[in-house]
Copies of this chain bind each other. A is one copy, B any other.
């Protein structure tokens, strides 16, 4: 197959266009036909998005026809099993060759169950997010997981997989391998080999502050930074890995970037980490080309953001803003090891912590790339998003105390059911947060302690997490929710208590830096989708001392995060590296 180019497609007739893209989407030339009208395409990414948009704006029947145009995965397995030599790249890498009889039977069963539930074939991009193929175990696990889903969601997931298959076919057609994305993806995979004791056996990723795995990650990151060509690499007094790629002038102001390399327990491989690895890839390219920027570029792998081993969230970035809290030293972890002991054990020189505070006047600003950790980009089929603000948030741990009583003998009108009161609040919260459009409110923890099937709940514990893009909006939400909790409690004759455990101010993006990200994304041929960040990030800390703005990358699997299913594709990662390169180049142009 001869390679095609965007230039040739942009000038092709509709018939030639459709012919050139034949095989991208299974037996569905209408997709290319409709996308043709969107020419010219600025990039392959723009073409991919136009094809996606054609499917997005199709009717549900057309979407279902597209799904049904695909052979069943179990059918493929049967073919793969029958073939002694594999005929296509997809089958070679699909992992479905050499199924054991048990696996084959399992797939057949899943297939039957799936068809019975959804009525269309299960579609999975078996080459996976790295393009190198899922294992049979991964395929079966995904099949099982998706079988449990809701039909609406599963149809959308099939379409997303179809787009991913199309994307890889287009990469092949265009001869465009996402080399930079692959590099970052592989680094992340390698870094994920290190996990805390007890988690390796479970196949889970957990890297908490200053454990052996954590220190191994720091070691790897610093080694890779060296290899990338950073001029200075060091592990600082709190364990941050700091790489500096000097500008023409060593004393030039610097652009600061970075994110964290610690994880939550049983977390994902990309949360935080791609915000270190992507700028590393940028430096690697600059260094390989012997190119210097008219400013310094400082990349920091923050040692602690998640607050898992110690309640010291944002310890890493906080050290740079002078907010290291010395009371943390005496905090003990679950094994009774204080942070002071852990730091000494890691050879960190805690006397130097105050020296980590950055002089903001020597910095141009702070940018951070992060996986979205939410479903928005995934649902919109967009690889990148521009953060407008990091939402302000407040958290409470709450308790409702009613009166425990016998479930059989207490008439409905004589109850003080603590859980029903919380149920009423949960529904209010849902409506009230939705009314704002972009506020969110969550009861994530909920339990009736020692609840019995035949006892009316006398106590109910729950958490409240309330967020909004501005502090004023957040505070109005908080006020309404707490007032409603009081009103419900008064009416139901139960007691309500709320203990505030966190209050974080909103961190709106700096307008100039946000615009730089927007231009960087637009230069890729992609729309600059603007969105708030619902999660907190290191940028919130740096926000306190310098202008900041963030770029989000799409998370697969509905953007699930803090979970092993967290995933990114190599193509999206490629786009993230290129966006970051665009930002660096823009800034260089501005400063020269």
Give the distance in Å from the alpha carbon of A561 to the alpha carbon of B404 in the complex.
Answer: 9
The residues of B that contact A434 with a CB separation of less than 8 Å are: 412-413
Give the distance in Å from the alpha carbon of A406 to the alpha carbon of B442 in the complex.
Answer: 9
Segment of A1-9, A133-141, A449-457, A515-523 in the binding face: A449-457
A420 touches B409 (CB 8 A): no
A444 touches B451 (CB 8 A): yes
Give the distance in Å from the alpha carbon of A455 to the alpha carbon of B434 in the complex.
Answer: 17
With an 8 A cutoff between CB atoms, is A426 at the interface?
yes
The residues of B that contact A13 with a CB separation of less than 8 Å are: none
With an 8 A cutoff between CB atoms, is A440 at the interface?
yes
A448 touches B444 (CB 8 A): yes
Instruction: Count this chain's copies in the assembly.
Output: 2
Give the distance in Å from the alpha carbon of A88 to the alpha carbon of B391 in the complex.
Answer: 67
Give the distance in Å from the alpha carbon of A152 to the alpha carbon of B416 in the complex.
Answer: 12
Give the distance in Å from the alpha carbon of A443 to the alpha carbon of B419 in the complex.
Answer: 8
Segment of A14-22, A94-102, A195-203, A528-536 in the binding face: A528-536
B446 touches A408 (CB 8 A): no
B375 touches A414 (CB 8 A): yes
Scoring A391, A407, A424, A427 by chain B CB atoms within 10 A of each residue's CB, the highest score goes to A407
A373 touches B409 (CB 8 A): yes
Segment of A175-183, A460-468, A479-487 in the binding face: A460-468
- In this complex, what residue of B is CB-closest to A396? B453
B442 touches A407 (CB 8 A): yes
With an 8 A cutoff between CB atoms, is A376 at the interface?
yes
209-234 of chain A: CB within 8 A of chain B: none
- In this complex, what residue of B is CB-closest to A452? B444
Give the distance in Å from the alpha carbon of A441 to the alpha carbon of B413 in the complex.
Answer: 11
With an 8 A cutoff between CB atoms, is A315 at the interface?
no
Given A414-B375, A423-B422, the answer on whether A406 and B559 have CB atoms closer than 8 Å is yes
- In this complex, what residue of B is CB-closest to A448? B446
Give the distance in Å from the alpha carbon of A404 to the alpha carbon of B417 in the complex.
Answer: 27
A509 shortest CB reach to chain B, Å = 16
Given A448-B445, A453-B445, the answer on whether A535 and B440 have CB atoms closer than 8 Å is no
Chain B proximity mask over A160-192: 1 for CB below 8 Å, otherwise 0:
000000000000000000000000000000000
A534 touches B409 (CB 8 A): yes
A456 touches B427 (CB 8 A): no
B495 touches A403 (CB 8 A): no
Chain B proximity mask over A555-570: 1 for CB below 8 Å, otherwise 0:
0001111110000000
A446 touches B457 (CB 8 A): yes
A375 touches B410 (CB 8 A): yes
A534 touches B406 (CB 8 A): yes
- In this complex, what residue of B is CB-closest to A463? B453
A406 touches B454 (CB 8 A): no
The residues of B that contact A454 with a CB separation of less than 8 Å are: 395, 442, 444, 465, 535, 562
Give the distance in Å from the alpha carbon of A443 to the alpha carbon of B409 in the complex.
Answer: 14
With an 8 A cutoff between CB atoms, is A493 at the interface?
yes
Name A533's contact: one of B149, B372, B408, B563 (CB within 8 Å). Answer: B408
The residues of B that contact A439 with a CB separation of less than 8 Å are: 412
Given A153-B403, A405-B560, A444-B448, the answer on whether A414 and B493 have CB atoms closer than 8 Å is no
Chain B proximity mask over A135-155: 1 for CB below 8 Å, otherwise 0:
000000000000011101100
With an 8 A cutoff between CB atoms, is A430 at the interface?
yes
B408 touches A535 (CB 8 A): yes
With an 8 A cutoff between CB atoms, is A379 at the interface?
yes
B448 touches A401 (CB 8 A): no
Chain B proximity mask over A35-78: 1 for CB below 8 Å, otherwise 0:
00000000000000000000000000000000000000000000
17 A-B residue pairs with CB within 8 Å:
A148-B401, A148-B495, A150-B495, A373-B406, A373-B408, A375-B411, A375-B414, A395-B453, A404-B563, A405-B558, A407-B465, A412-B430, A412-B439, A419-B446, A442-B454, A444-B452, A444-B456
Sample of 17 further A-B pairs with CB below 8 A, known A375-B409, A379-B414, A409-B559: A148-B401, A150-B416, A375-B411, A404-B563, A405-B559, A406-B535, A406-B559, A406-B562, A408-B465, A408-B533, A408-B536, A423-B424, A424-B427, A444-B451, A446-B446, A453-B501, A454-B535
Please give me the 9 A-B residue pairs with the lowest Cβ-Cβ distance, nearest first.
A374-B409, A408-B534, A409-B534, A407-B442, A423-B423, A423-B426, A412-B434, A445-B451, A150-B493
